[in-house]
Structure formats: structure tokens, C-alpha cells
A = this chain, B = another copy of it.
Amino acid sequence: MDRILIAALPDSIGKEVLLKGWVHRIRQLGGINFVVLRDRTGTVQTVFRKSEDLAGLRNEMVVEVKGEVVSEPRAPGGIEVHVNSCTLTGDVYYGASIPLEISNQRSFDRAELGSVLDHRPLSLRNQKVQAIFRIQSELIWAFREFLNRKGFTEIFTPKIVASGTEGGAELFKVEYFDRTAYLAQSPQFYKQIMVGVFERVFEVGHVYRAEKHDTSRHLNEYLSLDYEMGFINDEQDVIALEIDLLKYMFSHTKKACQAELELWGTQVPEFETIPQIALKDALQLLEEKCGKRVKSKTDLDPEGEMLICQYFKKETGTELVYITHYPTSKRPVYTMPDEKNPELTRSFDLLFKGLEVTTGSQRIHDYAMLVKNMEKSGLNPEDFDFYLQVFKYGMPPHGGLAIGAERLTKQLLNLPNIRMASLFPRDRTRITP
């Protein structure tokens, strides 16, 4: 007999089927012996004839169950399986009690995040946790699908690099045979090189930041969704594409993960466009409309990001807003200055529910201009030899951006901590599991 998946059971009422999966929950109620079975498509209530048949069964055991599919209005989903036989194929070894009650959502929700992460092989089996990563996987799927249709080529660039892209700070060192290498902070240089080859490229890959802070918004290894495109007019082309991209990613995820979004009691944002505000105006708005005393004139702090988003949510109904025209001093050396005001750049961040989820800009494409900009910033162009090489061979006006996949997931699902949006998060103190 071939295995049937739980999601396909409604088509098999009255038939005998073979199920394979995990013992999700066991309970005896009013003399009836219920075992909820779980596979990758969901859960189903099974009924064992005799209470002796439950002897030895424990949560998370892997079993094969043969039984008859029965319509039962009182069962969750309106279906249950009356068990004829049950075989153990994957035993458990967790001692007297399981460390996390993954099938009891109320109990699971009370567990400390540290414990949830320590027991990751188990906690990932919780259905709400599973939902996070199904949603993340669909968001990324849609990211690639949209860009592929727009003529972008997927690239895979090295994560072992000889120097930093942002000036050298916050790099993890790698012992690379007899020399020191670093883990890439971003694929920036490489995706620009690839604009010279394929014009439009994207990459989904890990990047690394040796930042010491321990916050709910930072990971030391995270998944960066990058694209870079040539032959643009300016950064507005990069923004326009992202707006269409996000619409596609959200609508795809809405279709693919309806049940998962419901589990988290959330909906994807729906919007026609995304408003933009220059950083200077945003700071002014914070002082005038939100009653915030602004300390820095060159950046938003986390509270400022939150207040700006609340303001736009109230005024325009959208949970997304672009902050544009960051000052030159706050942006990497390769960022295109604004020709009208060279103290500012053709750059932007995208805030989503109060958190930056994207950073992007038009880049400098002229060799001489880039060298001059490096010198102005106190950098030695000779240190960037291999990067500068590409600008010797003719580069079109271009720009791009990076979306933090875990941040996007966190904000979409209103997760309190970004670690919840990483299968196996890496932070200041955690490198296992």
C-alpha cells in the first residue's frame, strides 16, 4: 500500500490508507484513545481501538499507521482515521519527559526563546515555527521568480574575500591556509562586477557582520536578497522595481501560505505604491509632528524609524516607507552623490513597520569619480585594486539594493525577535545547534 499524505485524506473517506508521520499528541478522553498524527502536510486525529494499543507510544515517535478514513464532524477538520495497525519506525530517546511541548501551543508560547533555540531540532517541529520558514521560503522563491522574469541572472559570489566592502570594520577573520581572509559583509563588489557581464543580476546568499550588539534586530550571519541592475536613469528605477517586486513577493506568499499567515494572525501588506521622504524632511517631521527630540541630523534611530512608520501608517495607510537622500558621510564610498547637492546621496532605506529591511542606492560607475571619492573619504584606492578593475572596462549607470530576508520575515509576522526568523541563528554567543 502506498503512503497517503494527511492533506489528501478528504479524498479517501471510506478507504483504508497508510499514513506515515510523527505522534503529535496522545490523549484518552471519555474512554476513546486519540492519537494526533503529523506529517509535512498537517495533522489528523486517529482513533485506536484499545487503550493497550497506546502502550509504549510517545510524542514524536515516527510511526506507520493503517486505518480507515471516516467522516466525523466532531474531529478537527471533520475527518478521523480508525486505526487497524500501527508500526514504530523511528524510536525516541528523550528520557522521562520531552523538553518542549511542541504540540501544545499555549505551553510552547510560554517557553523562553533561549530554550526554544537550544532545542532547535525539536522546536522547529512546532507548527507555528514551521510556518515561519515556509513563509520565508516562499518569499525567497517569489524574489527569484520575479527577477528571473525581469531578465535578471542568478549569481553565486564568494563569501571568502580578501577585504571588506564597507571600509574594513566588523569583519570576521578566516584562517585561509597561510594568510588571513574575511567573510563577506555583502556581495556588493561582485554584483557590480556582474552588472558589467549580465547587466541585471541577483543573489540569495549568506553575509556576515561581526557586530557585537545583542539586539532583537541583528544577526551575525544573515540571508541577503540582493539585486543590481545596469542602464538605469537613477535610484528611482531601483526603487520602482522593488515596489513591484514586493507586491509580487507578498501576493505570492498570500496565495502559497494562507494557513501559515492565519496561524500568525497576520496579513501581507497591500499597496499601490510606497511613499518616499527625504531624510532631512523625515527628521523635521519627527520633531514637528511626532514630538521627538532628534539628536542625530544624519540618521534615524530605532525610535525614529518606528515613529515615522506610525505616522505614515496613520496618514497614508501603508506600513512601508522609503527614506531617501542620506548624507554622503553616512553612506559607503561607492554611493552616487546627488548632483544637485553633493553632500547628499542617491540612496534609500526601506522601513517596514518601523524597521529597516532594505538598503540601496545608485552607485558611482565612473572610475575617475570613484577614485576621487575614495581619496576624499580618506581611503587608499590601491587597497581596492581588484574592485576598481571593473570600472576600467566600461560600466553603465547602475544601482541596486539588499533586502534582509530574516528582517522581512520578522516584520511580516510581527515576531518580537529576529532569531525566530532564522532556522539556526548565529549571534554573539550562539553557534550551535
Q: Is the CB of B90 within 8 A of A392?
A: no
**In the assembled complex, A69 has its CB within 8 A of some CB on chain B:** no
Q: How far is the CB of A18 from chain B (nearest CB, A)?
A: 11
Interchain CB contact (< 8 A) of A153 among B137, B231, B366: B137
User: Taking chain A's interface residues, is the majority helix, strand, or loop, or is none over half, making it mixed?
Assistant: mixed
The interface centre, meaning the residue of A158, A189, A190, A196 with most chain B CB atoms within 10 A of its CB, is A158
**In the assembled complex, A426 has its CB within 8 A of some CB on chain B:** yes
Q: Is the CB of A125 within 8 A of B391?
A: no
Q: Is the CB of B395 within 8 A of A62?
A: yes
Interchain CB contact (< 8 A) of A391 among B20, B93, B148, B208: B93
A394 to B160, CA, bound (A): 37
Known A-B contacts A193-B120, A206-B205; A94 and B158 likewise in contact (beta carbons under 8 Å):
no
Q: How many residues does chain A have at the interface if contact means C-beta atoms less than 8 Å apart? A: 90
Which residues, 170 to 216 on A, are CB-close (under 8 Å) to B?
172-177, 179, 181, 183, 189-190, 193-194, 196-200, 205-206, 208, 210, 212
Q: Is the CB of B121 within 8 A of A133?
A: no
Contacting residues, chain B, for A156 (C-beta < 8 A): 140, 206, 223, 405, 423
Interchain CB contact (< 8 A) of A160 among B22, B208, B395: B208
In chain B, what residue has the closest Cβ to A129? B197
In chain B, what residue has the closest Cβ to A200? B40
Known A-B contacts A39-B199, A423-B190; A62 and B396 likewise in contact (beta carbons under 8 Å):
yes
**In the assembled complex, A42 has its CB within 8 A of some CB on chain B:** no
**In the assembled complex, A217 has its CB within 8 A of some CB on chain B:** no
Interchain CB contact (< 8 A) of A125 among B160, B162, B174, B197: B197
The interface centre, meaning the residue of A197, A220, A366 with most chain B CB atoms within 10 A of its CB, is A197
New A-B contacts (7) at CB < 8 Å, excluding given A89-B396, A93-B368, A158-B221? A90-B394, A91-B366, A93-B392, A159-B206, A160-B208, A177-B428, A206-B206
Q: List 29 A-B contacts (CB under 8 A).
A: A20-B231, A62-B396, A90-B365, A90-B366, A91-B368, A93-B392, A94-B392, A94-B393, A98-B393, A119-B389, A125-B197, A125-B393, A130-B198, A141-B154, A155-B423, A158-B206, A158-B423, A159-B159, A159-B221, A160-B208, A160-B220, A162-B431, A172-B176, A174-B183, A177-B210, A181-B431, A194-B423, A205-B206, A206-B206
A interface list, Cβ under 8 A from B? 3, 20, 22-23, 39-40, 60-62, 89-94, 98, 119-122, 124-125, 130, 133-134, 137, 140-141, 148, 151, 153-162, 172-177, 179, 181, 183, 189-190, 193-194, 196-200, 205-206, 208, 210, 212, 220-221, 223, 231, 365-368, 386-387, 389-397, 405, 423-424, 426, 428, 431-433
